[in-house]
Amino acid sequence: MTRTIAGAVDRGRARLAAVGIEAAGLEACVLFEHAAGLDRAALLARGREMVEPEAARRYERLLEERARRVPLAYIMGEREFWSLRIRVDRRVLVPRPETETLVEAALERLSSGARVADVGTGSGAVVIALALELGAGTFLGTDRSAAAIEVARANAAEHGLAGTIEFLEGDLLAPLAARTGLLDALVSNPPYIPTAELGGLQPEVRDFEPRLALDGGFDGLALIERIVAGAPPLLRCGGWLLLEIGAGQADAVRALLRRTGCFDDVSARCDLAGIERVVMARRAA
């Protein structure tokens, strides 16, 4: 059956809405644009035109994937973060808008020439944003997943940073052992979801994103505790540890930081939803 562009998009919206996708209308438009090679203005202007057969077939395949709850970012192959196009696939967590809070907090405390390590870098989104904003400096990204490191290196190269950011494979802080006392900032968006809560996540997250990047152990703090314990020797006096955390974890993370006796100026920053999303602490003298 021949369909107009507007009709195809409307049917796509209904199909996605039927499986519980909240932004079904927007996503139907995005997927059609991707299938047909159109931008939003062309989609709106050409709504009464007939869909080309090959575009219709591509659109159907994309809708089928999304209806199975494959994350939109994986279907598109990218996600916008900090106004940057970050390539993503099932090897890495999809960057979230709330993680931009981590970038904002770091930039408020750093200047050009800073030495920064991003622990659990995943797609490389955070360290890439910091490197582009700060311009000069030493930038490191670590991840225990070799597959994630591949994605991060490709993203860095795409943004002209192949020779600027060094990516190191290894568990949390282990690859940074040679940087004792040298870092101005250690930033991390570690796994912080309690293991028992993983099953209740949205299908897009639960079934497709890497569990390694989600599972924070019994209380969600297992990896955060390890980073807090291992960070002080790596930071110069006055250097910063900045951690993205889950909702309701700020008090526990502040307590962890204070118990080390190594940090002062412990504080938290809220995301746009008003949730304490980033906890920050300065390495005491």
Per-residue pLDDT, 179: 84
Is 168 strand, coil or helix? strand
Q: How far apart are CA 110 and CA 83, in angstroms?
A: 20
Tokens of 149: 């490191």
Name the pTM for this structure: 0.91
Indicate the residue type of 143.
Answer: D
Per-residue pLDDT, 107: 97
Sign of the alpha-carbon dihedral angle for 161, 162, 166, 168: positive
Q: Going by DSSP bridges, is the β-strand pair 235-244/276-283 parallel, antiparallel, or unpaired?
A: antiparallel
Per-residue pLDDT, 250: 96
Per-residue pLDDT, 181: 83
pLDDT at 105 exceeding the cut of 60: yes
Per-residue pLDDT, 280: 97
Per-residue pLDDT, 200: 95
Mean pLDDT (whole number) for 45-56: 90
Indicate the residue type of 1.
Answer: M
Q: pLDDT over 90 for what percent of the chain?
A: 92
Per-residue pLDDT, 39: 87
Per-residue pLDDT, 169: 96
pLDDT at 21 exceeding the cut of 80: yes
Indicate the residue type of 25.
Answer: G
With beta carbons less than 8 A apart as the criterion, state whether 223 and 189 touch.
Answer: no
With beta carbons less than 8 A apart as the criterion, state whether 87 and 78 touch.
Answer: yes
**Residue among 187, 232, 191, 188 nearest 210 (CA):** 191
Per-residue pLDDT of 203-243, as tens digits, reads: 999 999 999 999 999 999 999 999 999 999 999 999 999 99
Per-residue pLDDT of 136-195, as tens digits, reads: 999 999 999 999 999 999 999 999 999 899 999 999 999 999 888 889 999 999 999 999
Per-residue pLDDT, 43: 87
For 38, 82, 187, 210, 258, the CA distances from 118, given in Å and listed in that order, are 36, 16, 5, 18, 22
Determine which helix (DSSP H) or strand (DSSP E) holds 242, and give its type and residue range. strand 235-244
Per-residue pLDDT, 47: 86
Per-residue pLDDT of 117-126, as tens digits, reads: 999 999 999 9
Question: Is 79-283 a CATH 3.40.50.150 domain?
Answer: yes
Mean pLDDT (whole number) for 61-80: 96
pLDDT band at 44 (very low <50, low <70, confident <90, very high): confident
Q: Where are the domains of the chain?
A: 5-68, 79-283
